[in-house]
Amino acid sequence: MFHLRREEPDDRWEVEALFDLCFAPGRMALSSYRLRDGVPPMRDLCLVAHDSDEILAGAVRFWPVRVGQGADALLLGPIAVHPTRQGEGLGARLVQTGLKAACAADWNRVLLVGDAPYYGRFGFRRLNTVRMPPPTSPDRVLGHGAWNGVSGTVMPWRHQA
pLDDT in tens, 94-125: 999 999 999 999 999 999 999 999 999 999 99
Return the closest-CA partner of residue 6 out of 47, 64, 42, 35. Answer: 47
pLDDT in tens, 145-154: 999 999 999 9
Return the closest-CA partner of residue 15 out of 70, 80, 65. Answer: 80
Q: Report the distance separating Cα 117 and Cα 65, nearest Å.
A: 24
Range with the poorest average pLDDT among 32-41, 56-65, 101-110, 135-144: 32-41
Q: What is the pTM of this model?
A: 0.92
- Identify whether 161 is part of a domain: no
Range of the domain at 90: 3-156
Overall domain count for the chain = 1
Q: Residue 12 belongs to a domain with what CATH number?
A: 3.40.630.30
- Identify whether 89 is part of a domain: yes
